[in-house]
């Protein structure tokens, strides 16, 4: 059971905008920043978003992040077939004094 809660699946059609949610608590998301990771089958996760809404060099601006209270969201606009992957959120937990992760969301592009 993951500390952060994500929907197991999400879907959208090409060109659409999809949003993936990540729910936590006052000891983690509300108190700290959030990062997001993209993982294709058989490959390692890749940093997609950090510090809530910052994109590493090379990540398209179609990807965006936001946070409100105990929840965070990853937005993907102009959905493309190549965006089909698993997405994970992560943050620090002040009570556990360590990082916590979501269970992952499988994004399907219809």
Partner 1 sequence: QVQLQESGPGLVKPSGTLSLTCTVSGGSTSPYSWHWMRQPPGKGLESIGYIYYTGTTTYNPSLKSRVTISVDKSKNQLSLKLTSVTAADSAVYYCARVGATGYFFYLDVWGKGTTVTVSS
Contacting partner 1 (CB under 8 A), which of 19, 21, 46, 70? 46
Burial of 69 (0-12, 13-18, 19+ CB in 10 A): exposed
Q: Is 47 in the site for partner 1 (CB under 8 A)?
A: yes
Which residues on adjacent β-strands are paired with residue 88? Answer: 37
DSSP-derived secondary structure for 11-46: EE-TT--EEEEEE--TTTGGGS-EEEEEE-TTS--E
Binding mask 25-44 for partner 1 (x = CB under 8 A): ------xxx-x-x-----xx
**According to CB under 8 A, which one of 60, 95, 99, 110 is a site residue for partner 1?**
99
Enumerate binding residues for partner 1 (CB under 8 A): 2, 31-33, 35, 37, 43-47, 50-51, 56, 88, 90-92, 96-104
């Amino acid at each position: 059971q993951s500390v952060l809660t994500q929907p197991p699946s999400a879907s959208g059609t090409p060109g659409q905008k999809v949003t993936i949610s990540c729910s936590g608590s006052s000891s983690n998301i509300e108190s700290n920043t959030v990062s997001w990771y993209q993982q294709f089958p058989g490959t390692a996760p890749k940093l997609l978003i950090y510090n809530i809404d910052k994109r590493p060099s090379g990540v398209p601006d179609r990807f965006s992040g936001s946070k409100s209270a105990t929840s965070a969201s990853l937005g993907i606009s102009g959905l493309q077939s190549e965006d089909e992957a698993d997405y994970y959120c992560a943050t620090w937990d002040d009570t556990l004094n360590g990082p916590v992760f979501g269970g992952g969301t499988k994004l399907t592009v219809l």
